[in-house]
Structure 1
């Protein structure tokens, strides 16, 4: 349960909050302590006749984080409700004494953040240099390496040319004349059969000094 939802609860209900006993771990291993844990009765009511169709006790972990949602139901709660969720259709179905009940979400709200994703090359406008800029720290005293051109089948060559033209048109790549470093593109097949463009940066990696401590200690 998100904090903004917890604050909407009556004071006598919020008083049931207990201290957490363990931290929460994120997808990338980061840890954060929740505000607390609260046990509430979750009731599902029919909007038409205001009749209670299902209820169960749920232990919510209250977290301080921004979200458009009020709370997230975990697999344990869904099992208690014998519910089947579908993120594609934005709904949950479960059996009741009156038949199959359906909870529908606001699909417009759920998809309102689609504009932050790049769906085609033209959408990737780049990050302003005053915010972030990456530069290779290559040792310029070393001899520049120009890899010999690797041959490709006509099919791969045409596909690669079309993809590069898309990136050039979107101002992601630009043509450079009189190149000092030359690296071959390598096509790697994805599980779905399409291609992924990679680049063989072996030679320029050798010219870049190594960072012996790229990350803090794991502790």
Structure 2
């Protein structure tokens, strides 16, 4: 399932994705890391010449003209034989041999749903808000760069909005074999359980809101380590936040 012509996965389906560490390689050997795998029911053909099977799909975020691509294992499951020259596929069913013909209309429609650059918001100070959904998040491009080059950069930013993390939930999903953080603790030192410290009401409310936001976005999860507890330390930033 792809972003170029995509299927939006419901949250309930995302929760059912199984972790997988199998990369998909393009013809240029560029790896695409999967978001996870899921088993879906696939129906090929029309009544009475149809077959149903459960196929495991890898979900990735990559440009493609198609929402779903069936691999060799799926073709073997259906016992399908394909012909690229004739643009058709045949496979056995209980009612006889089913024949499917290629249809160019849908791929052409998908190609029309391409990444269209939306004019970004350019502020008086020279900063730009490429994502109209998050106008407060600005990117600064130096005025020393030529105007034509800046306009090209604006267009590149607008087309590739999915590269950036615009909210907390966009920062999750990186495979652990690519990025994983560990606490630099000494295993020979016993854990410390601190007593709960009280904080001012305004700081307590702010802390609760931040923790709730991180839990809802999937960055934090609730655990119970009774023998290892450390109180949070809040530090005011130079901008008074």
TM bracket, shorter-chain basis: 0.3 to 0.5
Q: Between Structure 1 and Structure 2, whose CA radius of gyration is higher?
A: 1
TM-score normalised by the chain length of structure 1: 0.43
